[in-house]
Amino acid sequence: MVTRLFFNIILAFAWCLLQDEISLRQFVIGFLVGLSAMLFFPRSFHQERRYFRKVTLSVQLVFFFVKELLIANWTVVRQVLAPELKIQSGIVAYPLSLQNDVLITLLANMITLTPGTLSVEVAPDRQFLFIHFLDVDDVEEEIRIIKDGFERYLLLIAQ
């Protein structure tokens, strides 16, 4: 999988050079052209399908993260601009299903980048991630959102 990703990135840079423009837009177009080319010339169709599935899941994760980012920004803006500050901040022990250090770090960073939340610490036995919430009304609901969203995508990508 890593060699296919590397090859796809090389194809994207080659596309940028052929277009005589190195920009994010041309890189994304080149990446998509590389994906298309790899579809027409598969070495092992099963491995190619896994690669395309992981790319698709990664894009879905990015869209999910942006959606959660917008929702969290709106929530924090509403709380800050409210006449009375009615928040219940607290630290929640989030039970981890992930055991890989890289995946735990990715999860913690995505949580920290979302306004109103901050990853504080990972338990030494990797069973819990402690998260500070600016406003936590329903602990179970917050855990469900992370478990069904961020962590589910990370687990699917890691398979």
Q: pLDDT digit string (tens) for 19-47?
A: 888 888 988 888 888 887 777 766 654 45
Residue of 87, 156, 94 lying closest to 119 (CA atoms)? 94
Residues 87 and 134 sit within 8 Å (Cβ to Cβ): yes
Structure confidence at residue 109 (pLDDT): 92
> Above 90 in pLDDT, residue 157?
no
For 94-150, the pLDDT digits (tens) are 999 888 888 999 999 999 998 889 999 999 998 999 999 988 888 898 899 899 989
**Domain residue ranges in the chain:** 42-158
Closest CA to 137 of 97, 79, 73: 79
Query: Beta strand pairing status for 128-133 and 117-122?
Result: antiparallel
Distance, in Å, from the CA atom of 92 to the CA atom of 136, rounded to the nearest integer, reads 9
**Structure confidence at residue 45 (pLDDT):** 46
Q: pLDDT digits over 52-105, tens only?
A: 788 888 889 999 999 999 999 998 888 888 888 888 888 999 999 888 888 999
- Backbone CA torsion sign across 18, 23, 27, 33: negative
How far are the Cα atoms of 89, 105, 112, 122 from residue 119, in angstroms, in the given order? 13, 10, 5, 8
pLDDT of residue 48: 62
pTM over 0.85: no
Evaluate if residue 12 carries a pLDDT over 80. Answer: yes
**Cα 72 to Cα 116: distance, rounded to the nearest angstrom:** 7
Rounded to the nearest 10°, the torsion over CA 132, 137, 140, 144 is -70
Q: CA–CA separation, 25 vs 15, rounded Å? A: 11
